[in-house]
Amino acid sequence: MDKSSALMALAALGQDTRLDIFRLLVKAGPQGVAAGEISTRLGAVQNTVSAHLKTLAQAGLVQAERDGRSVRYTADMTGFRDLLAFLMEDCCNGAPELCRPVIEAVTCNC
């Protein structure tokens, strides 16, 4: 990931509703959540949620897949991994033991 892409992803996550959407999709896992259900769960207007999903997709953080008449969204874990890797690229100036707590905090125990 380059700096421009990282800035786009961080800007996308830097908005309250988009961050809530992304966290909801991360929690949902690979089965994802339908667009209408995202609106319902967050108590947000569907048009607004659609605009936020578009921003997150352009930033490489969510993916959309048609599921019959609806669209199901999932967190793009590759995009998220690339963002984390970019942020930690030069971690701890050659002292990896200092990064261990961060790595352990983001490691899924599922």
Q: What is the pLDDT of residue 100?
A: 80
Bridge partners, 66 (sequence order): 71
Average pLDDT of the segment spanning 99-106: 80
Predicted confidence band at 109 (pLDDT cuts at 50, 70, 90)?
low
Q: What is the mean pLDDT of residues 36-58?
A: 96
Q: Domain holding 28: CATH number?
A: 1.10.10.10
| Number of domains within the chain | 1
Backbone torsions φ then ψ of 67, nearest 5 degrees? -130, 85
At 95 the three-state DSSP class reads: coil
Instruction: Record the tokens describing residue 75, joined without a space.
Output: 């967190």
Question: How high is the pLDDT of residue 101?
Answer: 82
**What number is the average pLDDT over the span 50-66?**
97
| pLDDT at residue 110 in the model | 59
- What's the pLDDT score for residue 23? 97
Could you tell me the residue range of the domain that residue 27 belongs to? 3-106
